[in-house]
Amino acid sequence: MQLVCPAGSLPALKAAVRQGADAIYVGFKDDTNARHFAGLNLTDKQLGEGVDLIRQNNRKLYIAVNTYAQPDGWERWQRAVDQAAAMGVDALIAADPAVLAYATKAHPDLNLHLSVQGSATNGPALSFYQQRYNIKRAVLPRVLSLAQVKQVAESTTVPIEVFAFGSLCIMAEGRCHLSSYLTGESPNLCGVCSPAKAVRWSNEDGKLSSRLNDVLIDRYEEDESAGYPTLCKGRFIVNGKRFHALEEPTSLDTMDLIPELKKIGVSAVKIEGRQRSPAYTEQVTRAWREALDSYKRNPEQFRVQDSWRQTLAGLSEGSQTTLGAYHRAWQ
């Protein structure tokens, strides 16, 4: 299984290469990718340097152009595809049929991966993209149980990539407009969820409050640790009770599932987190590299080491991890 790691900056890309990522995925500095955050992503010059480093070390470079093009800004998506092709990337990760169609036509040799934002959760959906755009891999949304991932893998000849670690979207990726409902900006159209510019922290009656476009997402007691107000991870009132009605602040961690993912025939595991620091990429990549190598050396005896688990827990939201939808009980 290939280890695919995130880089939101050149130092993160270097860290991923150093720690043994098989492939590194990046995005351009605009709204053509789903991590369009201020100060994030690589300039053309940095990308050039990154490509050289990746080639010297015999790794792969993937570029995400995975938001949905808007009718007014098509030139940006076209330019992103052309630039990716000119750089000789190993794969373009895309979701929008407009982008996939253009890439297929203008750059027939470019490897296409279907982004998780494409929301393909079943064999026939994958066939659509395979027959029409000749996709060479698909990243599955984080909504399937392990048994369902197996069913999908068995029903398609498209190689499968799954999320292994990182922030957890509770909703099916590509199928969530909650952020635009509150703030006007969504992952599909703007490459952001719960955008930083809409966040406001304040101290109200001695309690720390987090707001998104003035909507109260959570309020913390003194002894509680506060998290970024991603709107699906706030505490709300439902049926008169206040609780994390949608999801707790927690991260996905599937290291325990490495043997099963391998058995299913998953081609690649993906680490989420282009928006995180180079230190995050460094530590997660190291832990996962060691785990995958350990499994390869001795699959029968594979056991998640405490040190890996501690590293990952320390980098997780709310210091909690979950198997997410892979584990049916979570659903």
Binding residues (CB under 8 A) for another protein: these are 68-72, 74, 95-98, 101-102, 117-125, 127-129, 132, 142-145, 148, 151, 155, 170-172, 174-178, 180-184, 186, 188-189, 213, 215-219, 234-239, 241-242, 245-247, 325, 328-331
Question: Smallest gap, in angstroms, from Cβ of residue 274 to another protein?
Answer: 21
Closest distance of CB 89 from another protein, Å: 22
Q: How far is the CB of 19 from another protein (least distance, A)?
A: 31
DSSP for residue 29: S
Residue 17 backbone phi and psi in degrees, to 5: -65, -45
Give least dist CB 88 to another protein, A.
Answer: 25
Nearer to another protein, 122 or 311 (CB): 122
The secondary structure of 73-109, three-state, reads: HHHHHHHHHHHHHHHCCCEEEECCHHHHHHHHHHCCC
Closer by beta carbon to another protein, 75 or else 306: 75
**Which C-beta is closer to another protein: that of 125 or that of 304?**
125
Quote the CA–CA distance of 51 and 71 in Å, as a whole number. 31
Q: Crossing angle for the helix pair 10-18 and 44-56, nearest 10 degrees?
A: 10
Closer Cβ to another protein, 27 or 118, answer by number: 118
Q: Which residues of 42-79 are buried (b: 16+ CB within 10 A; e: fewer)?
A: beeebbeebbebbeeeebbbbbbbbbbbeeeeeebbbe
DSSP, res 197: G
Q: Cβ-count burial of 278 within 10 angstroms (0-12 exposed, 13-18 middle, 19+ buried)?
A: middle
Least distance in Å: CB of 131 to another protein? Answer: 8
Residue type, 298: N
Tokens read off for 196: 């930083």
The nearest distance, CB 29 to another protein, in angstroms, is 21
306 or 329, CB closer to another protein?
329
> Do the bridges between strand 23-27 and strand 241-243 make them parallel or antiparallel, or are there none, so unpaired?
unpaired
Q: How far is the CB of 218 from another protein (least distance, A)?
A: 8
Residue 51 or 215: which CB sits closer to another protein? 215
CA distance 144 to 182: 27
Which CB atom, from 12 or from 126, has the smaller least distance to another protein? 126
Judge contact between 266 and 153, C-beta under 8 A. Answer: yes
Of 155 and 305, the one with the shorter C-beta distance to another protein is 155
Which ranges of 256-315 does DSSP label H, i.e. alpha helix? 258-264, 278-297, 306-314
Taking the complex as a whole, the smallest distance from the CB of residue 198 to another protein amounts, in Å, to 9
- Other CB atoms within a 10 A radius of the CB of residue 31 amount to 20
